[in-house]
Amino acid sequence: MKEPLVPGFTLVQRIGEGGQAQVYLAERDYDGLRVALKVLDSRVRQDKVFLERFVREYKLLAKLDIEHVARIYDQGFAGDHPYIAMEYLPSGTLAARIHEGLTPRAALRITAHVARALDTIHSRGIIHRDLKPANILFRADGRPVIVDFGLAKDLAINSILTGQQRLLATPRYMSPEQCTGRTVDARSDIYSLGAILWEMLTRTRIYDSAGPADLMRMHVMAPVPRLPEALAMHQPLLERMLAKEPSERFQSAADLAATITL
C-alpha cells in the first residue's frame, strides 16, 4: 500500500502491518504529539463489513477511556484510506518479550495485570475476542495496554459482524466456543489469556505443530498440554484458564487476577 497523506499528521515510519492495515509512527502537526496511525487499505472503504468493523473499533475505543486501553485521538479518511490516530506505545509488544524470554514470575505478573485490564473492559460490556501477544503492548512504566478492538463485541449491540467467518480471531488463541461458533462471553477472553500464559511460560505456542483446522479442533477436544516438570506448579492455574467448558474456567477476570499470588 502506497503511504497515504493523512491530514494533520506527518508520517515518521511504518511500525506494523497486517492484511488490511498499516500502522505508522506519526507526529500530530499542531503540537508534535507522537501517535500510532492505523491506516486501512483503500479497498476497505468499498467493503461494508470491514468498514463497519473499523467504525465500531473507533466507537469502542472512544468509549473505553481507561488506562488499560490505548487512548484514541482522531478518526477520518486520508483520501480513500480510513485511519485511526491512537496513543503511541513505544515499549513494545508482549510477543517481543516472549521472544526475548520471561521468567515465570514475570509471566504471572503480566497475566495478573492483563486480567485486571480485562475485568475493567468486561465491566463496560466489551469482550475483546482477539486477545494475543501482538495485541498487548506496554507503557513506559511497564503497565500492559490492550489494543486492536476490531473484533471486539459490544454486548449492548447485536451485529452481523459476529457471523462473518472472514473475521474470525487468530486461531492460535481462540476459545473452544469461538471455534464452534457458539455465543461467547468474558470467559472466552480468559481462555485466550490462558493460551498466552502457556506461551509466556514455555516460549512455545500452544498446540504448536497443528495447522489452523487441526488447531481449532484441538482447542475444542484436546487435553490441556502439560507444562515441563520445573513449571508443574502452574498447571492447575492453566487447567482452569484453558478448561474446554466456560463453566469450568474462572468466571471472571477479577477472580483470575485475585488467584495469582506473586
Q: 116: number of CA atoms within 13 Å, CB side?
A: 15
The residue from 119, 130, 148, 189 that is catalytic is: 130
The 3-state DSSP class for residue 208 equals coil
E strand or H helix that includes residue 109 = helix 104-123
Annotation marks residue 130 as catalytic: yes
For residue 234, report the phi and psi dihedrals to the nearest 5 degrees.
-95, 0
Single out the residue of 240, 145, 127, 132 nearest to residue 188, CA to CA. 127
CA distance 127 to 106: 25
Residues ≥6 apart with Cβ < 8 Å to 255: none
Residues identified as active-site: 130
